[in-house]
Structure 1
Amino acid sequence: MPEDTVLIIEPDFSGHRWRYAEWAAHAYVEAGYRCVIVTSPANAGHPLVEAIRGGARPQLEIALVAPPARTSRRGLSSISYVRFHQDFRHAFRVVSRDRSVALVVVPYVDYFFLALPFLGSPFGSTPWVGITMRSNFHHCEVGVKAPRRPLVNALKARLFVRAIRTAGLRTLLTIDPTLTEWWSAIARGHAGRAPRDAAIDYLADPFPDACAAEPALAKARLGLGEGRHVLVYGAITARKGVFELACALAARPGDAHAPTLVIAGAQDEDVRGPLREAVAKLVPAPVVMDRFISGETELDLFSACDAVWLGYKGHYGMSGVLVQAYRFGKPVIATADGLIGWFCRTGELGPVIDDLSAAAINGALDRVLAGPREPLPEGRHLLERNTLGQFKQTLRQTLKQVIA
């Protein structure tokens, strides 16, 4: 079987999706399998594509497959779930024509997962594994603070249970540990798994191993001054809560202990102008890096800053920034909503706020920047599992479901 091929299909290389495809490929190559990452021709110039084509790993290939041709009358293709199902089926058929495929891996199965009860597997009888990142219909049932949508959530729950029984699906991996809890309760209520149910396992959202730099040296490289610094990191949109944070800092005029705001990451066009105005009068003056952040700069940012802002709005999923903050031992200021709030609910990782008022934010800032905090005992928190090594190990374990 190691002579067979593992196909990893991911048409979109934006955000973290290309990293999931890359890390999954490395996991299976290291296990002795040939891997082909299948993506759209639109990604031909992406660094991952160029690295694979110029690399020295003969067992790792890249395949660029355009979506199937469609007529002007799109019919069911106008439904995104159906359209993506068609795209994945087409990509699989094209690439598998001259290969013996042992396994298909879908790093972001939410593209078409809820269409499975109606359309079946896009990969025929070939075993496959999917990773879900947006399944949140169960949150209100497991103590995660999220909007209550009883009818929508009930419908999605029924579709989810039916999708799990899709032929060929061996394992559904989730970056949300509460989904596995919910599924265990469902299975107990139905006297165990049905024979066709796929396994549902937790896949800890990874952050590669990295050693923090010496804070003073990191500050010097970044051009940061003295005093405390609060980091807002990643793709900068209004949902980051950055306007509320700026408003709270503006309410601290003349405060000698006010931290410096550091905003690092490419900004949305809708945010850039208003954000420039919102931070223009802050004292100390903010540090704004409106660009793609390299790995070296990222390491320095998390090493140099004293706290990390996670006061997001309308975001109920997982956050890679939370994992990064934990890995670097930096306290966070977190919203109580969604998985961020669920992971931070004990307060060990930093203050949790129920609203984004200036008073609540400044109170949290005062607490988190008051002085040194007790480090978490090693191995105690669930986030300890969010390593690249654990990620690869979990993916390789899915092969047992295929062999079985």
Structure 2
Amino acid sequence: MRNDTVLIIEPNFSGHRWRYAEWAANAYMEAGYRCLIVTDPLNASHPLATKIRAEDRPELQIEFVAPPGRNERRGLSSRLSSISYARFHQDFRHAFDIASRGHRVALVVVPYVDYFFLALPFLGSPFGVTPWVGITMRSNFHHEQVGVRAPRRPLVNAAKALLFMRAIGAPGLKTLLTIDPTLADWWTDIGHRDARAPKQAAAIEYLADPFPDARAAEPQLAKARLGLGGGKHVLVYGAINDRKGVFELAAALAARPADANAPTLVIAGAQDEDVRSTLAAVIAKIVPKPVVLDTFISSEIELDLFSACDVVWLGYKGHYGMSGVLVQAYRFGKPVVATADGLIGWFCRTGELGPVVDELSPSTINRALDAVLAGAPHATPGAQHLLERNTLSQFKQTLRQAVA
């Protein structure tokens, strides 16, 4: 086993995808495998890539593989390459073909299988006969059946359900891991009884979206390191785009009285270009002056942010999947203001993690903030909440069990 290699193919290191790649590598290295992370050359300067190259350990390497050249000739192949699922399928097949040379590949891990998952019924596995494990983060066709609030799309969901049924029967796929617990429940309670369900299907298991085991810093020391003042702080964290609801939150904070009890907005994470061009003007109206960290956030600063801030904003819009920020807030014992939509709303539906908002008007947001800032009770680690499973050790154990 020690000479076998696990290929972890993730072309995009944005958001938390690079962390999934790193954590997957750690899980399989601990089981005795060599690991090779395969990614796009555009990520060569990313901190994870820099770290792996600097350490230069035989058990963990990184390889940069550019996407293949596209066939410009008109015809079926060119039309397929213009469809995102098929294009990504080509990219992963190419990355596997290049990176697997000279290695005895025991397993391929795809930290974000949604790139090409719905192409599997038509194109088969991009990894030939090599066994593989995929992690799905955006399979949401089943939400209406299990009580998750999401847009009604009966025709789209029916088509995706059919493709999903066929995809989980793809050769080589050993286990489909999902960060959505309702998908695993749906398969157990509903999906496997469907007449379209394949007789030989991959196992579908819940993979709790993790936050590394970490102890919160003393809040005042964390505030001092971040240069934050006194009073309460509301944190917006992660890749900052319009779906974060940051403009709606800013409008609500601008409408609050500028008194000593007004919370300070903290926006931490690299901003999309379209957000960056307009956000500065919007938040200029807020008192106290917001704190903005428009950059990649290191693990040390991340720990200080969640230690120092008092409320975590999860009033996202058009986002129906899981949120690692929710896990981080729970792990640090911080209340959230959350959307009622999607998996965020499903996890927060009881209100024990903080107020849930049905819409993002300034009055609704400020009522929720007032409830939190007044000290409304919320769940903390140690309570028997489903988020107790969202630890790095549980994540690694589930990944290893997927190939047991």
TM over 0.5: yes
8 Å contact from structure 1 (residues 165, 198) kept in 2: yes
8 Å contact from structure 1 (residues 10, 17) kept in 2: yes
1:105 aligns with 2:105: no
8 Å contact from structure 1 (residues 229, 261) kept in 2: yes
**CA distance in structure 1 between the aligned counterparts of 2:249 and 2:118, rounded to whole angstroms:** 37
What is aligned with 1:23?
Answer: 23
- Is the partner of 1:157 in helix, strand or coil? helix
What is aligned with 1:382?
Answer: 386
What is aligned with 2:9?
Answer: 9
**CA distance in structure 1 between the aligned counterparts of 2:381 and 2:265, rounded to whole angstroms:** 29
Q: Aligned-pair distance for 1:122?
A: 1.0
Q: Aligned-pair distance for 1:375?
A: 4.7
What is aligned with 1:157?
Answer: 161
- Is the partner of 1:36 in helix, strand or coil? strand
What is aligned with 2:204?
Answer: 200
Q: Aligned-pair distance for 1:45?
A: 2.6
Q: How many residues align?
A: 400
What is aligned with 2:355?
Answer: 351
Task: Choose which of 368, 390, 396 in structure 2 pairs with 1:392.
Answer: 396
**CA distance in structure 1 between the aligned counterparts of 2:231 and 2:54, rounded to whole angstroms:** 44
Q: Aligned-pair distance for 1:8?
A: 1.0
Deviating more after overlay: 16-25 vs 340-349: 16-25
Instruction: Specify the code of the residue in structure 1 equivalent to 2:106.
Output: A
**CA distance in structure 1 between the aligned counterparts of 2:197 and 2:135, rounded to whole angstroms:** 20
**CA distance in structure 2 between the aligned counterparts of 1:337 and 1:273, rounded to whole angstroms:** 27
**CA distance in structure 2 between the aligned counterparts of 1:290 and 1:44, rounded to whole angstroms:** 21
What is aligned with 1:271?
Answer: 275
Deviating more after overlay: 32-41 vs 162-171: 32-41
Q: Aligned-pair distance for 1:190?
A: 4.5
Q: Aligned-pair distance for 1:386?
A: 1.0
8 Å contact from structure 1 (residues 167, 196) kept in 2: no
Deviating more after overlay: 267-276 vs 384-393: 267-276
Deviating more after overlay: 295-304 vs 255-264: 255-264
**Structure-to-structure mapping, 1:43-192, within 5 angstroms:** 43-55=43-55, 57-73=57-73, 74-187=78-191, 189-190=193-194
Q: 1:309 to 1:86 in 2, by over 3 A?
A: same
**CA distance in structure 1 between the aligned counterparts of 2:162 and 2:192, rounded to whole angstroms:** 16
Task: Choose which of 244, 248, 255 in structure 1 pairs with 2:248.
Answer: 244
- Is the partner of 2:23 in helix, strand or coil? helix
Q: 1:311 to 1:54 in 2, by over 3 A?
A: same
Structure 1: give runs of 5+ residues left out of the alignment.
none
Q: Deviations over 1:258-312 (max 9, x none)?
A: 2111112222222224222222132222222222222222111111111111111
**CA distance in structure 1 between the aligned counterparts of 2:143 and 2:159, rounded to whole angstroms:** 14
Deviating more after overlay: 296-305 vs 248-257: 248-257
Deviating more after overlay: 331-340 vs 184-193: 184-193
8 Å contact from structure 2 (residues 65, 95) kept in 1: yes
**CA distance in structure 2 between the aligned counterparts of 1:374 and 1:118, rounded to whole angstroms:** 47
**CA distance in structure 1 between the aligned counterparts of 2:381 and 2:61, rounded to whole angstroms:** 42
Task: Choose which of 216, 220, 225 in structure 1 pairs with 2:224.
Answer: 220
TM-score by length of 1: 0.94
Instruction: Specify the code of the residue in structure 1 equivalent to 2:22.
Output: E
Q: Aligned-pair distance for 1:65?
A: 2.0
Q: Aligned-pair distance for 1:255?
A: 4.1
**CA distance in structure 2 between the aligned counterparts of 1:165 and 1:123, rounded to whole angstroms:** 15
**CA distance in structure 2 between the aligned counterparts of 1:89 and 1:248, rounded to whole angstroms:** 47
**CA distance in structure 1 between the aligned counterparts of 2:69 and 2:231, rounded to whole angstroms:** 58
**CA distance in structure 1 between the aligned counterparts of 2:12 and 2:376, rounded to whole angstroms:** 42
Q: Deviations over 1:78-134 (max 9, x none)?
A: 111111111211222222232221111111111110010011111111111001111
What is aligned with 2:35?
Answer: 35
Q: 1:260 to 1:41 in 2, by over 3 A?
A: closer
Deviating more after overlay: 33-42 vs 105-114: 33-42
- Is the partner of 1:321 in helix, strand or coil? helix
8 Å contact from structure 2 (residues 15, 238) kept in 1: no
Q: Aligned-pair distance for 1:23?
A: 0.9
Q: Deviations over 1:289-341 (max 9, x none)?
A: 22222222211111111111111111111111111111110000001011110
8 Å contact from structure 1 (residues 5, 33) kept in 2: yes
1:319 aligns with 2:323: yes
Q: Aligned-pair distance for 1:192?
A: 12
**CA distance in structure 1 between the aligned counterparts of 2:351 and 2:318, rounded to whole angstroms:** 21
1:299 aligns with 2:303: yes
**CA distance in structure 2 between the aligned counterparts of 1:248 and 1:97, rounded to whole angstroms:** 55
Deviating more after overlay: 148-157 vs 117-126: 117-126
- Is the partner of 1:399 in helix, strand or coil? coil
Q: Aligned-pair distance for 1:67?
A: 2.3
Instruction: Specify the code of the residue in structure 1 equivalent to 2:275.
Output: V
- Is the partner of 2:92 in helix, strand or coil? helix
**CA distance in structure 2 between the aligned counterparts of 1:123 and 1:45, rounded to whole angstroms:** 27
**CA distance in structure 2 between the aligned counterparts of 1:139 and 1:98, rounded to whole angstroms:** 43
Deviating more after overlay: 64-73 vs 74-83: 64-73
8 Å contact from structure 1 (residues 85, 115) kept in 2: yes
8 Å contact from structure 1 (residues 348, 376) kept in 2: no
**CA distance in structure 1 between the aligned counterparts of 2:38 and 2:289, rounded to whole angstroms:** 45
- Is the partner of 1:200 in helix, strand or coil? strand
Q: Aligned-pair distance for 1:28?
A: 0.4
**CA distance in structure 2 between the aligned counterparts of 1:238 and 1:194, rounded to whole angstroms:** 39
TM-score by length of 2: 0.94
Task: Choose which of 369, 372, 377 in structure 1 pairs with 2:373.
Answer: 369
